[in-house]
A and B are shown apart, each in its own frame.
Chain A
Amino acid sequence: MTDQSMTSEAPAQGRGKPVAERAGIPVGLKRAALLIGLIIAIALPFMVKNFTIFQLTTVMIYAIAILGLNLLTGFNGQFSLGHSTFIAIGAYTTAILMEFGGFGFYATLPLAALFCFIVGFLFGLPALRLESIYLALATFALAVATPQLLKSAPFEPWTGGVQGLLVFKPEAPFGIPLNSDQWMYFVTLVIGLVLAFFAVNLVGSRTGRAMMAIRDNPIAARAMGINIALYKTTTFGVSAAYAGIAGSLSAVVVQFVAPDSFTFVLAIGLFVGLVIGGVGSIPGALFGGAFLVYVPNIAEELSKGLAGAAYGAILLLVIYLMPAGAAGLVRAIVMKVLNRRA
């Protein structure tokens, strides 16, 4: 799983040539890795238990959210320790529309993305005035406040308060012979690929170069005539929309939304996933998602009483071994092997 998760979308990066300063892995190799990754990704649900399919779906959902965070932090240089909020908004949008609006899941997905885009864009406006550490704190404040807002009296009639809302999980349509776990796996896979493709192209486009110019040198970017405010808020919106889609998917996959599902622990988890996967790397998001799902389980295996300490120790170890994240490590290894051959 992890092998596939680290490389499956790697080739995509070459196509857009997003990060010029990086010595790239040859495009051919990336394409081959993508193809192999895709074949494995398609074959897997027919080879493993439903529970594992569910886990893999969760990995992809986290990866989508981390991808969104990556666009914001990795490519635009804006911190966020509050992306759990947008996941929550996406999840609740889907849950509420399905519960009270009689919507089908698929109809709620774009609405969740749109709504999150708007909220993210609006949050991006005040964020413009906040520099790195202050922005990190403001977003963290958002993450801390989210569960309280969700269960507060004014919202309770819609959010179900502390009890949360149960969500119906769609079955495969048109008599496709897949169970609901497999079906949602493929739905998530396709959405994830589309979003990754979009991210790659965005990053490789003029817009992407402007985003990165703002990250690297805002003053020079302004001098080049880039509308910094517009780009920053739009990036915030797009990033939030990614998180919203992840939230929407998670609502139906988990079949339940509750304030306790979206605490600041989730926000911090996404941030950890981003750094571990590799800041500024699109395939790294998948590794980050896998880290989020599997490492707590490993930590718990090591010790029940010290699960938290084990998790912390693993985290430190990973940071030491790959300070540039999994993507950085893979890049370094591949380059080393290639150089030796050459």
Chain B
Amino acid sequence: MIKRSLTVLAGMTALAVAALPASAQTYGPGASDTSIKIGNINPYSGPASAYGTIGKTIDAYFNKLNAEGGINGRQIELVSYDDGYSPPKTVEQARKLVESDEVLFIFQSLGTPTNTAIHKYMNVKKVPQLFVATGATKWGDPDNFPWTMGWQPNYQSEGRIYASYILENEPDAKIGVLYQNDDYGKDLLQGLKDGLGDKVDMIVAEVPYETSDPTVDSQIINLKASGADVLVTIATPKFAAQSIRKVAESGWKPLHIVNNVSQSVGGVLKPAGFENAKGILSTAYTKDPTDPQWADDPAYKEWAAFMDEHYPEGDKSSSFTVYGYAAAQTLQKVLEQAGDDLTRENIMKQAANLNDFELGMLLPGIVINTSDTDFFPIEQMQMMRFNGEGWELFGPVIDGSVGS
């Protein structure tokens, strides 16, 4: 109590606390007067270890918060485990977090198959599986899985955005699709098809690649041969960069749409060659740290300062660091709103109670909204075009809600 009275309360916190019964100071497992214990699962080892950056960024962000006094006077204790992107190991780690470490909730566990493995367990145990780091659509199902919530725009929404752009601007297009042969690729492709609706036969070729393929050259040759004039690349950075370069190399000049996962200027377009990347379309919801247009942006500077001070070994050209940073800020908001009622129920309640919440590293105009029935925190994106140096946003901020 004394501690709390010393804490400078942010406006929102005061509101949240005021909304609670006056005597409220109830704690679920892992929470106390001095600390909040949070679990996280990330692939720090194995073939998917690139994503480990997200976990490390989150950890760095909470270290920063703790150094500044924590949230509502409580230190955040992040317990992050490695699952090597293997679902059985995810189950083990999740159970360890819940049953042995007794965390209040699990935050930003990464990957679709891995989260699927613990989906049921978390809901049976009634432990929040909060802001999972995957864009699959199934995370926003409050009726059946009230303890699970996504965070990023889901892949299907993104596919729909591309579909509506193509229908509007290239109604006679022949579409070729390169997609990663996993849940993410298939989800996004599904969104694209749904968005095209009865015009789905505009897609003249869909060619998958495996992450074990050294290059996608062969796939691009097949797509070119299909006669497509619009190419939608649903690929992770390495393969997106390869496809951009191969398209240019082979003298093919389609309208090229590259998915959001691979929007990084420094991490994709520069390796692929700015010349080759000119004219590419994509969507975004976060600011790309390697895009020069944000160099003087205050939120960007704040992020850069955070990186320098708390995660100096981190890669500032990686979009994962922005992702982890923004996700951690979202959680900070939820915890601030939860105030002293740190029960699992209230965490979910507050997570489902975000209203027009703005984050510095999200694009201007994109806000986070959740409710009892809306478990999709970020649903907006904006189209953009690469001008050879940086992205130019165009058109309105589009709401890609799956139901809409």
Query: Which of these binds chain B: A220-228, A257-265, A280-288?
Result: A257-265
> CB of A119 within 8 A of chain B?
no
Q: Is B182 within 8 A of A54, CB to CB?
A: no
Residue of B nearest to A181 (CB): B95
User: Is A254 an interface residue when CB atoms closer than 8 A count as contact?
Assistant: yes
A254 proximity list for chain B (CB < 8 A): 87-88, 91, 117
* Minimum C-beta distance from A296 to chain B (A): 7
Determine if A258 and B116 form an interchain contact, defined as CB atoms under 8 angstroms apart: yes
Which residue of chain A lies nearest to B97 when distances are taken between CB atoms in the complex? A51
State the Cβ distance, B336 to closest chain A Cβ, in Å: 27
Nearest Cβ distance between residue B56 and chain A, in whole angstroms? 7
The answer, yes or no, to whether A132 is at the interface (CB within 8 Å) is no
Q: Which residue of B lies closest to A258 (CB)?
A: B113
Q: How many residues of B contact A (CB 8 A)?
A: 40
Q: Distance (Å) between the CB of B53 and the closest chain A CB?
A: 10
State which of A166, A261, A311 has its C-beta within 8 Å of the C-beta of B88.
A261
- List residues 240-266 of chain A with CB under 8 A from any CB of chain B: 250, 254-256, 258-261, 263, 265-266
A265–B113 CB distance below 8 A: no
CB distance from B205 to the nearest CB of A (A): 16
Shortest beta-carbon distance from A188 to chain B in Å:
14
Task: List, in ascending order, chain A residues with CB within 8 A of B81's CB.
Answer: 297, 300
Q: Is B239 an interface residue (CB 8 A)?
A: no
A163 at the interface (CB under 8 A from B): yes
A300 vs B183: C-alpha distance in the bound complex, in angstroms?
A: 27
B47 at the interface (CB under 8 A from A): yes
By beta carbon, the residue of chain A nearest B42 is: A304
A283 nearest CB across to chain B (Å): 23
Given A162-B186, A254-B117, CB of A266 within 8 Å of CB of B91:
no
Q: Say whether A256 contacts B212, CB under 8 Å.
A: no
Asked if B92 contacts A55 (CB within 8 A), the reply is: yes
Q: Which of A260, A293, A297, A300 has its CB near the most chain B CB atoms (within 10 A)?
A: A260
List residues of chain A with CB within 8 A of the CB of B313. 305
Given that A162-B182, A265-B86 are contacting pairs, would A256 and B117 also be in contact in the complex, using a CB cutoff of 8 Å?
yes
Do residues A304 and B56 form an inter-chain contact, with CB atoms below 8 A?
Answer: yes
CB–CB A256/B100 < 8 A: no
Q: How far is the CA of A300 from the CA of B41 in the complex (A)?
A: 12
In the bound complex, what is the Cα–Cα distance between A285 and B75 (angstroms)? 43
Which chain B residue lies CB-closest to A148?
Answer: B210
Contact residues of A between 9 and 45, Cβ < 8 Å to B: none
Tell whether A265 pairs with B95 under 8 Å between CB atoms, given A296-B45, A305-B44.
no
Q: How far is the CA of A318 from the CA of B76 in the complex (A)?
A: 36
Q: Is B99 an interface residue (CB 8 A)?
A: yes
Interface string of B332-374 (1 = CB under 8 A from A): 0000000000000000000000000000000000000000000
Q: Please, which residues of chain B bring their CB within 8 A of the CB of A305?
A: 44, 52, 56, 313
Q: Is the CB of B99 within 8 A of A49?
A: yes
Residues of A within 8 A of B114 (CB): 260
Interface pair B55/A50, CB less than 8 Å apart: no
- A58 part of interface (Cβ distance < 8 Å): yes
Q: What residue in chain B is nearest A165 (Cβ atoms)?
A: B116
Task: Give the distance in Å from the alpha carbon of A166 to the alpha carbon of B365 in the complex.
Answer: 39
Point out the residues of chain B lying under 8 angstroms from A304, CB to CB: 44, 52, 55-56, 59, 80, 82
Point out the residues of chain A lying under 8 angstroms from B87, CB to CB. 164, 254, 256, 258, 260-261
Q: Which of B216-260 contact A (CB under 8 A)?
A: none
In whole angstroms, what is the CA distance A299 to B82 when docked?
10
Q: Does B46 contact A (CB under 8 A)?
A: yes
Cβ distance A98 to chain B, nearest Cβ, rounded Å = 14
Are B56 and A260 in contact, with the CB atoms below 8 A? Answer: no
Are A255 and B91 in contact (CB-based, < 8 A)? Answer: yes
Is the CB of B276 closer than 8 A to any CB of chain A? no
Instruction: State which of A52, A250, A255 has its C-beta within 8 Å of the C-beta of B100.
Output: A52
* B84 contacts the other chain (CB 8 A): yes
Name which residue of chain A comes closest to B43, CB basis: A307
Q: Does A104 contact B (CB under 8 A)?
A: no
Contact A307/B44 with A50-B95, A51-B99, A256-B116 known, Cβ cut-off 8 Å: yes
* A51-B99, A304-B52 known; A255+B44 contact, CB < 8 A: no
A260 touching B95, Cβ below 8 Å:
no
B96 CB–A CB distance under 8 Å: yes
Nearest CB in chain B: distance from A99 CB, A: 14
Chain B residues closer than 8 Å to A162, beta-carbon distance: 112-113, 181-183, 186
Report B-chain residues with C-beta under 8 Å of the C-beta of A55: 92, 96
User: In this assembly, does B26 line the interface, its C-beta being within 8 Å of a C-beta of chain A?
Assistant: no
Whether, in the assembled complex, A232 has its beta carbon less than 8 Å from a beta carbon of chain B, the answer is no
Chain B: minimal CB distance from A196 (Å): 22
Question: In the bound complex, how far is the Cα of B123 from the Cα of A255, in angstroms?
Answer: 14
CA distance in complex: A50, B212 (Å): 37
Assuming A254-B117, A300-B44, A305-B44, is B99 touching A50 (CB within 8 A)?
A: yes
Instruction: Tell me the bound Cα distance from A255 to B90 in angstroms.
Output: 12
Binary CB contact string for chain B from 51 to 88 against chain A (1 if under 8 A, 0 otherwise): 01001100100000000000000000000111011111
Additional A-B contacts beyond A51-B98, A255-B91, A299-B45 (12; CB < 8 A): A49-B99, A50-B95, A50-B99, A144-B212, A162-B182, A162-B183, A254-B88, A256-B87, A260-B86, A260-B114, A304-B59, A307-B45
Q: List 19 A-B contacts (CB under 8 A).
A: A50-B99, A52-B100, A148-B210, A151-B182, A161-B186, A162-B112, A254-B87, A254-B91, A256-B117, A261-B86, A261-B88, A261-B113, A263-B47, A263-B86, A265-B84, A296-B82, A297-B81, A305-B44, A308-B46
Interface residues of A (CB under 8 A from B): 49-52, 54-55, 58, 144, 148, 151, 161-164, 166, 250, 254-256, 258-261, 263, 265-266, 293, 296-297, 299-300, 304-305, 307-308, 311
**9 pairs of A and B residues whose beta carbons are closest in the complex:** A51-B99, A256-B117, A307-B45, A258-B113, A51-B95, A260-B113, A162-B183, A308-B45, A300-B82
